[in-house]
Structure 1
Amino acid sequence: MVGKLIAVLFGLFLAFGAATSADAAEPDLTLEATIEADSLEPYVGEMVLLTLRGDYDAFITLERFEGIELANFTWLQLGRDVWSKSRKNGREYTTVERKLALYPQKPGTLAIGPFRHRLTLDDGSGRRSETIVASNALDLTVKPKPATDGGWWLPAKNVTIDDHWDMDTARLADGATATRTVTITAVGQTAAALPPPPKVVAPWLIAFIAPEIRTTEITRDGPVGTVQWQWRMRPSRSEPGRLPAYHIPWFDTQSREMRDLVMKSRRFAYATITAPEGSAARTRLENWLLPLALGLLLPVGAALHRRRPLPAREILARLRRWLPERDALAMRAARIRGDVRAYRRIAAKRLSRHGHAPEQELAAIDAALFRGAPVQVMDLHSLDRRLREVFHRAEAANEIDAWQRGRGIAARPRG
């Protein structure tokens, strides 16, 4: 009787040990996928955060996530996997967490997952086994991107702009070049998603843009994209002008509203110019005193010689042949001094007065002044000879027109 009881107890002990071994041979392995977005139905291009969390009651010797395939999404991993230890129900678990930023590329109901984590386990006695843990699958409803001004679509958690000028463009020193640096930062977007630089074009402005700089910082909450644009600008004319504002629309994913980023308007003028924009500069005394005196004296002199007075246009045209132009003397002085900036400023004003484009005729000087070439190597003598020919042709054409108008002859079109 005692022997049978011992045999029964021994059998129960073996059965309990076998059950315990079976439990030890089947560890608790779970992998869960969750998504986080600022809306239950995000727009195309809006960031969606995906978290993969694995809780493993086992000793892991090797691991790797199998190739992640996400059709209809672009994505990037937000840093390295984070491993930690935790306890649940009195047992120690190994936890791994991987984060991805997903950007849906088309509207509709899109499938996400399942994801697979391949593990190599050690049972504690040196025996190893390989297993694959699969996560749950998810569905995400995505809305088409709305129509926007200009067609640009930029969804982000936040977008900021830093618009910096290195000088006051409303009071530029003669010949000065202003540098504008614009930095745009978007939280929740990569640098590639930020817009291209605006075209800074105005008939009165010379502008050069440096190669843009785009960078993306990876954080656990998503990427932060930055783009930097830099221009060097200078007025090509002495008259003041205004650079218009530039607007960049973007979608605030947290408030679910469209917002506007603005590169503000900017006034350009030389400090020596005091006339307001859109009005003519005040005429200086010497500009009208000499023509007035000549207009009074020359007709009197002609009458004394019993000659019919000439028209005022013809009188002025003859005077221009006899008297050197004041700007011509100033250009000559600047050339002798080797002052390239002063020479360029006076030549641009004189070219504009004669109906020529300063940017075309003075391209060599502009390239030297704006692109860092040494201005000492500029051949002002050969440039001055060419400009004198341009001015001579313009003055000759003006004299012919004046002579024809004085005799009532219609001027023939040039060219």
Structure 2
Amino acid sequence: MVKRIIIVSLLWLMMVNLSWATVSSSVDQTELTYGDALQLTITANHGTGVAPDLSVLNDDFEIASQRHESQFSLINGTSSQTSRWILSLYPRKSGKLVIPAITVGAEITDPIVLTINDDTTPNSTNNDKGKSTSADVLIEFEIEPKNPLVQQQIILTQRLLASVRLDNTQASLTLPQIEQGKGLVRQLGSPTAHNRVIQGKRYDVIERKFALMSQQSGTLTIGRTIFDGVIPDANANNDPLGHYFAFSLGGKSVRRFSKPFDITIAPQDPNYTGQYWLPAKNISLNASWDKPLDQLKAGEPVTLTIAIMAEGLAAEQLPALTIPVPVGMKAYSDQPLFNDQVRDDGVIGIRQEKWVFIASGGGEFTIPEITLDWWNTKTQQQELARLDATQFKVGGEPLVVNTPDPATVAKPEPQHSAQLPSAQPSSDTRPQHTMPWWLWAVLLVLMGGVIAALAYRRGKYKAQSMSSMQESLQRGSLNQLISACAQHDKQGAQLGLTAWARDVLAVPSPQWVNLRAIATPELKAAMDSLEQALYSKDASSKKWDGSALIKAVKAFKYPLNRHETTTHLMPLYPLADK
């Protein structure tokens, strides 16, 4: 009896040991570089419908992907089933890490110890911001200027350097983000590619540029950026065709990081005395009128288009100008137009305003000089942008403003208070005469007609005045564009074309982008020629001919029926050029 109990106990212990050995885990490498992925395989040698509890991995690992495989076999009448869970893991930090025991149903796996080497420490001999020095893929940043002022444009250059071939279909690089501080980041142009040799090793370089506008002084921190991609598998080196089919074995998933870095933003210069802090490479004021100023008539509207152009500031950073209105004139302003021209070397912000002036009488009028203080970031000095004073000569009867003489002012007769009817009988016994009711009715009808006629005339005059102002805006925009093209003034043509799109075609903001979406091939070609003349490397010395642009504008027939709509809807996304 005792012998049987011992035998049963031994068999039971063997079954328990076998059950403990039916779940296992393994990795493809126990020592790797921080940023490399490792493969964890969990195997259950018996059929189980219970998935492993992977929550224990979340503290030290990121699960990039996972899949489940099942295999069923029947050998000599004995069936078996194996389940595998295959995970791709990214370690969250370097150093010694442990893949903890993982529970699968009632069973657990053994822990696995890993060594994660940190190869992304900044190179002490390199001045590039946030640079990582992993041998195969590098990420680095460069800023210009090195000591920026608050609100000054900072050119932030991000570079990805690879000494191995990358699978372009499985590569991504995150955009730089502000981790601490306040500012705006905007990408400039499209990525560029070139090569560089570092310590005898050739790297393929992909470069992206961004405009960073800081909104407060102090420390601004750019967080780490992350590259996710696939590089050729090392086993491909043993394949004679590995050079051509480097990713035939699936490749190796890698992740690389740039280090966060700080930018010290200096405050506004204490010697600056302007009303608005405007740090820029250059700021200019430009103005144009839609008709000659010596041929105006009283009551006739004239349109002034004035623009601030700032190299190194966004349009939204530019202030509204204060324009003094001469005595005897009325002025009406339209909504400002904001336009940012994005180039590879930064942003040019343009704020455009339209003013309609109407003289109440003839005479000579003067708009004083208009000025705007700004800070030159090249010379570190305060400068002044200005527009010269403008003189009007208006024909018509002079406007005379008379001051009444107190001695000649007629004194009003004293007004007596009306007597309320007394409750006592009046002592006047003369008969009281009252107006017939029908006469009261006739008087009320006549008064109502007079009031209605006055209201109609007033509304008609107001409508005509608004229509005249609108026509003046449209005529002024077209005349401004024609004048700029005739003088081959590329900056003026850019402002005029934008204003023409807004005032005549009712194109919503941003006008330049949305006009291109509906432009004819001739107008697109003329716009491309204007952009090249404005922003190419030799733009300052390059001449521009405005005849093609004005020809394309005059031939443009959109919308076909102007009366059908005045505010057409543009595509949700700008259309690509064809």
Q: TM-score range by the shorter chain?
A: 0.5 to 0.7
Match in the other structure for 2:225: 115
Structure 1 residue 363 displacement after superposition: 5.4
- Residues 41 and 142 of structure 1 are in contact (CA less than 8 Å); yes or no, is this contact kept in structure 2? yes
Q: 2:161 aligns with which of 55, 77, 82?
A: 55
Higher normalized contact order (CA 8 Å, seq sep 6+, divided by chain length):
1
Q: Contact between 2:332 and 2:355, CA under 8 Å: does it hold in 1?
A: yes
Give me the whole-angstrom Cα distance separating, in 1, the residues matched to 2:463 and 2:157: 58
Gaps of 5+ in 2: 1-35, 37-133, 234-245, 403-407, 410-457, 473-578
Shift of the 137–364 alpha-carbon distance from structure 1 to 2, 3 Å rule, reads closer
1:97 has 2:207 as partner: yes
Closer, same or farther in 2 for the Cα pair 1:90/1:108, shift >3 Å? Answer: closer
Quick one: percent identity of the two aligned structures? 24
> Which consecutive unaligned segments of at least 5 residues does structure 1 have?
1-24, 281-312, 315-358, 374-415
Q: 1:212 to 1:88 in 2, by over 3 A?
A: same
Residue 383 of structure 2: SS of its match in structure 1?
strand
2:159 paired with 1:35: no
Structure 1 residue 128, shift from structure 2 partner: 1.7
1:184-199 alignment runs, 5 A limit: 184-198=308-322
Deviates more, 1:158-167 or 1:173-182: 173-182
Task: Supply the AA of the counterpart residue of 1:169.
Answer: L
Post-superposition shift, 1:167? Answer: 2.9
Measure, in 2, the Cα distance between the counterparts of 1:267 and 1:103.
Answer: 39
Give the match for residue 370 of structure 1. 469
Asked whether the equivalents of residues 33 and 137 of structure 1 are also in contact (C-alpha less than 8 Å), the reply is: no
Structure ranking higher in helix proportion: 1
Map Cα deviations across residues 331-367 of structure 1 (whole Å, 9 max, x no partner).
xxxxxxxxxxxxxxxxxxxxxxxxxxxx99x756643
Is structure 2 residue 355 aligned with structure 1 residue 231?
yes
**Displacement after TM superposition at 1:135 (Å):** 2.3
The answer to whether the 8 Å contact 2:162/2:204 transfers is yes
- Give a deviation string over 1:280-319, Cα, whole Å, max 9, x none: 9xxxxxxxxxxxxxxxxxxxxxxxxxxxxxxxx89xxxxx
Q: Secondary structure at the match of 1:151?
A: coil
Q: Using a 3 Å threshold, how does the CA distance of structure 1 residues 42 and 181 change in structure 2: closer, same or farther?
A: same
2:344 counterpart of 1:220: yes
Q: Which residue number in structure 2 is paired with residue 129 of structure 1?
A: 252
Cα distance, 1:174 vs structure 2? 4.6
Question: CA offsets per residue over residues 65-99 of structure 1, 9 Å max, x none?
Answer: 23532132221111222234555667553211111
- TM-superposed CA distance for 1:192, in Å, is 1.3
Cα displacement (A) at 1:241: 2.5
Distance 2:196 2:267 in 1: 41
1:256 to 380, 384, 388: 380
Counterpart mapping for 1:350-369 below 5 A? 366-369=465-468
Query: CA, structure 1 residues 279+258, in 2 after alignment: closer, same or farther (shift >3 Å)?
Result: farther
Please tell me the residue identity of whatever aligns with 1:140: I
- Separation (CA, whole Å) in 1 of partners of 2:464 and 2:214: 50
Structure 2: distance between partners of 1:107 and 1:86? 35
Residue 217 of structure 1: how far off its partner (Å): 1.6
Residue pair 2:274, 2:374 contacting (<8 A) in 1 also: no
CA RMSD of aligned residues (A): 3.6
CA gap 1:150/1:235 in 2 versus in 1, 3 angstroms = farther
* Cα drift, residue 136 of structure 1: 4.0
Match of 1:76 among 186, 192, 198: 186
TM-score, normalized by length of structure 2?
A: 0.42
Map of 1:330 onto structure 2: none
Structure 1 position 51, deviation (Å): 1.1
The 1:52/1:68 distance shift into structure 2, 3 A limit, reads closer
The equivalent of 2:544 in structure 1 is: none
The answer to whether the Cα contact below 8 Å between 2:297 and 2:362 also exists between their aligned partners in 1 is no
- Give the structure 1 partner of residue 296 of structure 2: 172
AA aligned to 2:156 is: L
Question: How far apart in 1 are the matches of 2:372 and 2:257?
Answer: 43
Would you say 1:139 and 2:238 are equivalent positions?
A: no
Write the letter of the residue equivalent to 2:333: I
Kindly indicate whether residue 255 of structure 2 is the aligned counterpart of residue 156 of structure 1.
no
User: Structure 1's 243 and 53: CA in aligned 2 closer, same or farther, altered over 3 A?
Assistant: same
> Number of matched residues?
270
The alpha-carbon distance between structure 1 residues 278 and 256, as it changes in their structure 2 partners (threshold 3 A), is farther
1:256 CA drift (Å): 0.8
Give a deviation string over 1:361-391, Cα, whole Å, max 9, x none: x756643532449xxxxxxxxxxxxxxxxxx
Could you tell me which residue of structure 2 aligns to residue 183 of structure 1?
Answer: 307
Which residue in 2 is equivalent to 1:329?
none
Distance of 1:80 and 1:49 partners within structure 2: 14
* Other structure's SS at 2:394 match: coil
Note if contact 1:235-1:268 (Cα within 8 Å) is conserved in structure 2: no
Residues in 1 aligned to 2:350 and 2:190: alpha-carbon distance in whole angstroms? 22
Distance 2:280 2:196 in 1: 34
SS at match of 2:466: helix
The SS at the match of 2:190 is: coil
Contact 2:373 2:385 in 1 (8 A): yes
Q: Distance in 1 between matches of 2:203 and 2:400?
A: 75
Amino acid at match of 1:100: F
How big is each residue's C-alpha offset from its partner over 1:177-199, in whole Å with a ceiling of 9 and x where there is no partner? Answer: 22211122111122111222435
- Residue type of the alignment partner of 1:191: A
Residue 249 of structure 2 aligns with an amino acid whose one-letter code is G
TM-aligned CA distance change 1:363 to 1:149, over 3 Å = farther
Q: Distance in 1 between matches of 2:226 and 2:256?
A: 6
